[in-house]
Structure 1
Amino acid sequence: MSTGTSTSTETGQEVEFAAPRADDLAALLLAKDRPARPGALAASLTFGWRAMLKIKHVPEQLFDVTAFPIMMVLMYTYLFGGALAGSVSAYIQFLLPGILVMSVVMITMYTGVSVNTDIVKGVFDRFRTLPIWRPAPMVGYLLGDVVRYLIASAVMLSVGLVIGYRPAGGVVGVLLGVALLLVFSFAFSWVWTMFGLLLRSEKSVMGVSMMVIFPLTFLSNVFVDPRTMPGWLQAFVDNNPVTHLATAVRELMAGDWPAADITWTLGWSVALVAVFGAVTMRLYNRR
């Protein structure tokens, strides 16, 4: 056993002490049980809470789910209402579910921006070293964004009710429509997590996301009935996943049960998670 000396500050005398042995330190460290490794759900919820804390410290992030939806509802209702339906009150019944779908689908791209920002700052390197379920950071981003989608939905429905929207399906129909929208948006967000890992800057993620989202949302039945469109365009619109989603949400809020469109929407959701979720995790593990 090695020894050493130290000078006492009180007496000024040197005091001899024994240096600890490696075996003693090992026994001390191994004497206590290690804390249990967090499960997949706990780790994902923790990262989801992290996303909420980011909103708390930077509340301007809620601009796109508050002011933007209000602007979209008022602008398109009063801009197209008289021309397309004869009155604002008639058009808002058709438009609001569609514009709700459009707005929530558009803000899903911010998931990819958040992922890319953390990569550029080096935060993701730290996440990869943690003893947690590998997909937890990704799932956490998506769970945090679900809250943003709920806020946007609540804001738009409130504005719609003020200007004359009356869902015939009542509270149950509205809740079912919003629930289906959240399921699809969660699945669709995996597309942007993939781009967040692939591209080098958040501006690139925004640019590519816009190129994908704008055709999907505008070339749909969000604003008008596709029966008035040319045949070649109508074929694309009828097979657009956003069209199926908008129709399903619209009919659910109207009190109907569009089984075919609900099935298509859920099928698209499963396919998006299966394809882009797998690609995202492969990129994440190899990065």
Structure 2
Amino acid sequence: MTATGRVRAEFVAAGKSFLRRRTAVFFTFFFPVLLIVIFGVLVGTQPTGGGLFSKAPGYYVPAYLAVVVLLTPLSRVGSTVARFRDGSRFEKLATTPLSRPEWLLAHTLVNVAVIGLASLIILVLVVFVTGAEIALSVMVIPFVAVAVALFCGLGALIGSLSGSTDGVVAASNAIGLPLLFLSETFVTPDLLPGWFRPVMNLSPLTYFARGVRNLTFFGGPWTFDFVVLCAVAVVVFALGAYALPETD
């Protein structure tokens, strides 16, 4: 069997596994919708005011996308790696032709498909529920795909290094939540101390948010952010694949 065939077979198996986990499917799509309802409708934006949500609704589109782009891969891939390790499935996997990078690629493609659909739903809801005025660009698709690959790699690292499934959940939250709110998403840089703003450039999610925001809202340059996101994604994905255990 070729590498493409092996990845395709694992992709189909991983996709079916995800669909069987109804709770995971529900929260993958429900959680970002809940955030849109809370922040976009109940709280609302105040473009002429100050503080949180002081920008126009379109400004926060990357923030809503970041919820699924970041949190879903971290938790899903991290938990999957932990389950495979606890069930001695990596030991069985080592007896097959499927390599660790191929395994991670297949699971990443499942996440890209699922999160791509969730992102489309988010874009539609943001426009119709909050009245956000955004420019649609096909480049949003590769931004989402590359970011998902990056955080799948990070999820694989977390799952490989954590001692248990509970440890994966704790580590994912400890890493994901600060990144979500301190990467030019919901919290604008002007609300943070001046000394902290350069630190935001260390977060790969910042480049996702900036790039998508320039594409959909500001109409500014996005190439640099995309190149940085791609470079970091390649490194983190490679590290995640390398960290996957060959045996348990």
TM > 0.5: yes
Answer yes or no: is the 8 Å Cα contact 2:184–2:200 preserved in 1. Answer: yes
Q: TM-score with structure 2 length normalisation? A: 0.87
2:179 maps to: 216
SS at match of 1:231: coil
Q: CA–CA distance in 1 between the matches of 2:87 and 2:202?
A: 40
1:266 maps to: 230
Q: CA–CA distance in 2 between the matches of 1:221 and 1:97?
A: 9
Q: CA–CA distance in 1 between the matches of 2:103 and 2:201?
A: 35
Q: CA–CA distance in 1 between the matches of 2:48 and 2:231?
A: 32
1:1-287 matched pairs, under 5 angstroms: 38-78=1-41, 80-83=43-46, 86=49, 91-109=56-74, 110-163=76-129, 164-168=131-135, 170=136, 173=137, 175-254=138-217, 255-278=219-242, 280=243, 283-285=244-246, 287=248
Q: CA–CA distance in 1 between the matches of 2:120 and 2:35?
A: 14
In 2 relative to 1, CA 85–277 (structure 1 residues): closer, same or farther, beyond 3 Å? farther
Q: CA–CA distance in 1 between the matches of 2:72 and 2:143?
A: 16
SS at match of 1:220: coil
Q: CA–CA distance in 2 between the matches of 1:246 and 1:188?
A: 14
Q: TM-score with structure 1 length normalisation? A: 0.76
In 2 relative to 1, CA 122–238 (structure 1 residues): closer, same or farther, beyond 3 Å? closer
Unaligned runs of 5+ in 1: 1-37
Q: If you compute each CA radius of gyration, which structure gives the higher value, 1 or 2?
A: 1
The alpha carbon displacement at 1:286 in A equals: 5.6
In 2 relative to 1, CA 114–134 (structure 1 residues): closer, same or farther, beyond 3 Å? closer
CA displacement 1:28-54 (0-9 Å, x = unmatched): xxxxxxxxxx12121112111111111
Identity %: 23
The alpha carbon displacement at 1:252 in A equals: 1.3
In 2 relative to 1, CA 133–238 (structure 1 residues): closer, same or farther, beyond 3 Å? closer
The alpha carbon displacement at 1:200 in A equals: 2.9
The alpha carbon displacement at 1:123 in A equals: 2.7
Unaligned runs of 5+ in 2: none
SS at match of 2:139: helix
In 2 relative to 1, CA 90–222 (structure 1 residues): closer, same or farther, beyond 3 Å? closer
Answer yes or no: is the 8 Å Cα contact 1:178–1:249 preserved in 2. Answer: no
Number of paired residues? 243
SS at match of 2:186: coil
Q: CA RMSD in A?
A: 2.4
